[in-house]
Amino acid sequence: MNITLRQLRAFLAVARGGGFTEAARELNLTQSALSLLVKDLEAEIGFRLFDRTTRRVVLSQPGAEFLPAARQIFDDLQSAVRSASDLATLEKGRVRICAPQMLACTLVAPAMARYHADHPKVELKLVDTLLGNMLDAVVAGEVDFAVGPDRKNDAHLLRTPLFQSPFALWCRSDHPLASCASVAWSQLAAHSIIIMESDFSTRLLPELQTQDPTLTLTPSYTVGFVSTGLGMAGAGLGAVIAPTYVAPMAQAFNLRCVRLTGPQLSREVSVYRRPDRSLSPAAAKFLEVLKETAG
């Protein structure tokens, strides 16, 4: 059986108006086109819907019994069409994003504010998590995508690069290196340095020593969170090494950014999502806003 929305609309209009003339005018159709739609519906369901005479058109007995069901089907289809339209036009929907704490603060939150201003009816959910747990929510299907630094991707997720964020030295204005436009990694040995343990020993130091095997860097303080390192630098305990995407948070501690060279290293921030799940219109639009915000 292949009943269409147009056929149901035609049947309901004739039943409501008691004739083809009024129904054709209501639907902006010719009477012959309207009659054809009703005949096609009758052929699909297997019985006559109206008893026609030269003077009037009335519902047949099976037509009268079919009328309530037709109304319900038509209303349900209309509701489904409106719902689909709302999803496509971002009048409704939901976007779930996962990000480690720092990127949640400095990148995702501003992107959410921009998105909400244009699409206030879309529900936004941010899951801020530890860097090491960032991909778990994506694999489990709990979020649409994750935003974070380049990670070992054992889950075979789809990774789309977003931007490069060079490592920099963040320090107070009264720090000995604060007036430098850039400093070499080798110059840091004479200063109190704060690093993030999760990234330094396993990734950053090996990268440095690959390019310069003679380079040694012994941190004065090791912390688990970038925000802690920024706070310590703001308190005058040293300078913290962190990617430039921490800038909004670093400004809260009145820290200056000094470029690190010889070599210049960076972290690539990417979007991670499952390749077997397509993005909803709302989520796809959020990624556009995220890219604009990152830019």
Structural domain spans, the chain: 5-88, 94-163+269-294, 165-267
pLDDT tens digits, 209-229: 888 888 878 899 999 889 999
Statement: residue 85 has pLDDT above 90: no
pLDDT tens digits, 71-81: 888 888 877 77
- Residue 121: partners with Cβ closer than 8 Å, 6 or more residues away: 90, 91, 92, 93
Higher-scoring residue by pLDDT: 88, 48: 48
Shortest CA distance to 38 belongs to which of 61, 57, 54? 57
Q: The dihedral of CA 100, 105, 106, 112: what is its sign? A: positive
The structure's pTM equals: 0.70
Considering the domain 165-267 in this protein, what is its CATH number? 3.40.190.290
Distance CA 273, CA 279 (A): 9
Topology agreement, domain 5-88 and domain 165-267 = no
Domain 5-88 in this protein, CATH class: mainly alpha
Question: Architecture of domain 94-163+269-294 in CATH?
Answer: 3-Layer(aba) Sandwich (3.40)
- Residue 46: partners with Cβ closer than 8 Å, 6 or more residues away: none
